[in-house]
Amino acid sequence: MFQHRALQQIDSDVPVRVSMDRTLRVKVIDSCSMTCTFCHNEGTPVSADNHGRRSAPFSSAGRSGRVSIYLGTNGARFVSAPVMPDEAFRAALAQLRDALGFDEVHLTGGEPTLHPRLPQIISLAKDAGYKASITSNGENGARALPECVRGGLDHINFSIFGTTTEELAQVQGTPYRSRQRAARKITALDESIRLALALGTGARANIVIPDHTHVRRVHRLLEKYSPRLSVRVLTSLADGDASLDAVDQLLKELDAQPEAIRLIAGTSGFRIAYRLPNGRPLLVKHIRPLRLPETCTGCRFNNSTDCQEGYYGVRLYRDPHGTFHVGVCIQRMDLCLPVEEFVASEMCAEIRKMREQDLHDLTA
């Protein structure tokens, strides 16, 4: 098994569960009314700042105040356009399902709940044989979630960028660091979480811990929301040992006991499940150094410092011309291919082979 600091601290009798990555990430819309300073925007340019631009070079700063942190170096060749619940989308889902065995779509943005036809997109994905989940900042959940749940939404991940108005304001673009604005976003998030729980859909709060100053944020989350809200802590690659040390501190303060190690063959993310003394579960997500053996070889980012997420999985985008593109790395958007080319490509075959080899290695 691969070595990782978090795993070395866990007793060998903690069960290990291995599964195969079968999740397709789909960027359904670029719009978002938050201006987080660390946003990768799924690797694509901010559409609002690139109206009329159909090809590079793209603007990396504009009136929206939003950022796409890898844009300057990732070779993005298109601006993303909203995905529509039409036959072209259905065909793209079917092609990728058949090529790589996907059975879940994870809808992202931007902020997916701003898409006016998100419930129909979810319903179409369900009809195509997929489970459906979304990642949301909660800013529009009160309006969008009821119809999404009726459309078949299985799960929602809420990204928590601040548990107080001060924290949220601090990570927004300088012109948008308003406590009043941040307070409205926190209130909207609260409403969305409580509504999701009331509707009975699976709900999880994702929160990144860069260093020990952020540990208290997780305590606040656990104190504020019902145990029915799952909490997942994410480590920060950019902060290295400082992030890992902070997670260790959190687990010690919570007296969290490890219950299971969840390894996912074919993706760099893995999870460790903990149980708190009151019975509440807590997940910690880590990144392991998984690479595509051929595509990643020779990449200028292929080192422990520059590669931010390793091979994380397959992403689907739609451009303004209606073409669907498949991406395998948000730091190498120049690798994107139209769906029809991708499913027939050596890269697709490489992913299939790598997943099977990774599954073998993790279960050996």
- pLDDT (mean) for 149-166: 96
Q: Among residues of the chain, what percentage have pLDDT more than 70?
A: 99
What is the predicted pLDDT for the residue at 335?
A: 98
Q: What are the tens digits of pLDDT across the range 197-211?
A: 999 999 999 999 999
Q: Is the pLDDT of residue 142 over 90?
A: yes
* Alpha-helical segments (H) within the chain: 5-8, 87-100, 118-127, 141-150, 165-170, 179-199, 215-224, 240-254, 339-343, 346-363
What is the predicted pLDDT for the residue at 1?
A: 57
List, in order, residues 6 or more apart from 10 with CB less than 8 Å away: 258, 261, 272
Closest CA to 124 of 148, 108, 100: 148
Domain enclosing residue 18, as ranges:
5-363
Phi and psi, residue 222, nearest 5°: -65, -35
What is the predicted pLDDT for the residue at 62?
A: 86
Q: What are the tens digits of pLDDT across the range 343-364?
A: 999 999 999 999 999 999 999 8
What is the predicted pLDDT for the residue at 178?
A: 93
CA 253, 258, 260 angle in degrees (round to 5)? 150
19, 24, 30, 35: CA torsion to nearest 10: 10
Mean pLDDT of the chain: 94
DSSP line for 261-312: EEEEETSSEEEEEEE-TTS-EEEEEEE-----TTTSTT-TT-STTT-SSSS-
Q: Is the pLDDT of residue 251 over 60?
A: yes
**Which DSSP symbol is given to 255?**
T
Whether the CB-CB separation of 264 and 311 falls below 8 Å is answered with no
pLDDT band for position 43 (50/70/90)?
A: very high
Does the CA dihedral 302-102-234-329 come out positive or negative?
positive
The residue with greater pLDDT, 225 or 30, is: 30
Q: Among residues of the chain, what percentage have pLDDT more than 90?
A: 88
- pLDDT (mean) for 76-88: 97
Here the CATH number for the domain that contains residue 328 is 3.20.20.70
Number of domains within the chain: 1
The residue with greater pLDDT, 54 or 180, is: 180
